[in-house]
């Protein structure tokens, strides 16, 4: 079945949480998404990359709040508006969502004034004349609306879009609840530049939860639908992350054993990672989920699932 490709058009900084929620929802529908998150470095001007992205898609989703966006100096219009106009020129089915200004508060820094505000007002008036627009408030509210609207749009293009069986499973998988923001930040530091391969911190957080729970398959699936479209790249990335996590657990197990041997609740050997307050509780809990290369840890791997090794 050919993928149904959707272009997500919006300003970025003010709507980043909304875009993240929409991307995750559409990934669960196994929709191929084209948007600024996936452009990467290109030799072309930003507007050229954006318009080329629109041309590759079957449909357009436009999300508009209180910012007009970066104005292209050649055309005198925002890139967001030019993306929309290109979609209309190509005849792409379009879904338009406007922020509900009466119900959703917006930070002042995300509200345009002056000429940009006037151009945004004119754009919104045109959108309301040409489309049946949907108001939205929170990121979750927007994601729910788009999930309901996209399948009929895809059906009109002869493509069936539905929640995949694997995606259904993923939504019900128990997560590693002890991966707090503090511990997540610690793991990101441990990963170094590797963490930058996943633009969305929320996606990276979910992938780490799956890997820490011993479910590489779910992590690879999530990466394939978001940051690593090539499955080999997704597997390679997951393997590298597991290696980092394994080293973290090994250090944690050493510290815990030293604590036990010292009998005083403190390690006799100071390690750089030990000073991180997030490290010790995470190492204790995650030692039950990740394989350790130290056989004395009592952990073994069974394909993607990881279970404690039975003592003789």
One domain for residues 83 and 131: yes
Tell me how far apart the alpha carbons of residues 288 and 294 are, in angstroms, rounded to a whole number: 13
pLDDT at 161 over 80: no
Q: Which domain holds residue 144?
A: 5-163
Q: Residue 15 belongs to a domain with what CATH number?
A: 3.40.50.10140
Residues 5-63 have pLDDT tens digits of 899 999 988 998 998 888 888 877 777 777 665 544 445 557 888 898 899 899 999 99
pLDDT tier at 104, thresholds 50, 70, 90: confident
One domain for residues 43 and 192: no
How many helices and strands (H and E) does the chain possess? 11, 9
Q: What is the pLDDT of residue 151?
A: 84
One domain for residues 158 and 176: no
Residues 216-242 have pLDDT tens digits of 777 887 787 777 777 788 888 989 998
Q: What is the pLDDT of residue 312?
A: 39
DSSP E strands in 66-211: the ranges are 71-72, 77-78, 94-99, 134-136
Q: Cα separations (Å) of 300 from 145, 174, 187, 246?
A: 44, 21, 22, 12
Residues 241-296 have pLDDT tens digits of 988 888 887 787 777 777 777 765 444 444 444 445 444 444 444 443 443 333 33
Q: What's the rounded mean pLDDT across residues 147-164? A: 74
Would you give the DSSP letter of residue 216? H
pTM as predicted = 0.53
pLDDT at 114 over 60: yes
Q: What is the pLDDT of residue 163?
A: 55
One domain for residues 152 and 189: no
State the total domains in the chain: 2
One domain for residues 9 and 157: yes
One domain for residues 31 and 149: yes
Domain boundary among 132, 163, 194: 163
- Pairing label, strands 299-302, 305-308: antiparallel
Domain boundary among 120, 146, 163: 163
The chain-wide mean pLDDT, for the chain, equals 76
Domain boundary among 163, 182, 216: 163
One domain for residues 58 and 81: yes
Tokens of 264: 């005083």
One domain for residues 175 and 304: yes
One domain for residues 16 and 124: yes
One domain for residues 144 and 244: no
One domain for residues 60 and 126: yes
Query: For residue 100, how many other CB atoms are within 10 A of its CB?
Result: 14
One domain for residues 10 and 124: yes
Q: What is the pLDDT of residue 301?
A: 36
The percent of residues in the chain predicted with pLDDT above 90, rounded, is: 29
- Pairing label, strands 59-64, 5-9: parallel
Q: Cα separations (Å) of 170 from 19, 28, 218, 225?
A: 20, 9, 6, 13
Q: What is the pLDDT of residue 267?
A: 44
Query: For residue 277, how many other CB atoms are within 10 A of its CB?
Result: 11
Q: What is the pLDDT of residue 10?
A: 93
Count Cβ neighbours within 10 Å for each residue of 199-211 and write b for 16 or more, e otherwise. ebeebbbbbbbbb
Least confident window among 186-195, 205-214, 255-264, 296-305 = 296-305
CA angle 163, 9, 146 (to 5 degrees): 30
Q: What is the pLDDT of residue 3?
A: 76
- Pairing label, strands 59-64, 94-99: parallel
């Amino acid at each position: 079945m050919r993928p149904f490709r959707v272009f997500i058009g919006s300003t970025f900084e003010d709507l980043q949480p909304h875009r993240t929620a929409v991307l995750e929802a559409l990934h669960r529908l196994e929709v191929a998404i084209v948007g600024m998150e996936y452009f990467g470095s290109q030799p072309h001007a930003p507007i050229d990359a954006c318009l080329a992205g629109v041309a590759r898609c079957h449909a357009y989703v436009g999300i508009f709040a209180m910012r007009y966006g970066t104005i292209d100096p050649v055309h005198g219009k925002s890139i967001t508006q030019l993306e929309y106009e290109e979609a209309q020129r190509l005849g792409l089915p379009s879904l338009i969502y406007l922020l509900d200004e009466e119900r959703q508060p917006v930070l002042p820094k995300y509200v345009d004034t002056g000429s940009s505000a006037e151009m945004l007002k004119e754009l919104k008036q045109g959108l309301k004349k040409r489309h049946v627009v949907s108001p939205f408030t929170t990121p979750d509210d927007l994601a729910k609306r788009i999930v309901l609207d996209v399948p009929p749009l895809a059906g009109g293009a002869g493509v069936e879009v539905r929640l995949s069986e694997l995606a259904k499973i993923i939504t019900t998988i128990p997560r590693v609840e002890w991966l707090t923001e503090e511990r997540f930040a610690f793991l990101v530091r441990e990963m170094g530049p590797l963490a930058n391969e996943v633009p969305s911190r929320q996606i990276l957080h979910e992938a780490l939860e799956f890997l820490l729970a011993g479910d590489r398959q779910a992590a690879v699936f999530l990466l394939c639908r978001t940051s690593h479209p090539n499955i080999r790249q997704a597997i390679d990335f997951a393997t590298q992350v597991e290696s980092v996590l394994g080293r973290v657990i090994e250090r944690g197990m050493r510290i815990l054993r030293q604590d036990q041997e010292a009998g005083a609740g403190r390690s006799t050997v100071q390690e750089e990672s030990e000073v991180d307050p997030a490290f010790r509780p995470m190492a204790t809990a995650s030692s039950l989920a990740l394989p350790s290369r130290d056989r004395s840890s009592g952990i073994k791997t069974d394909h993607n699932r990881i279970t404690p090794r039975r003592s003789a």
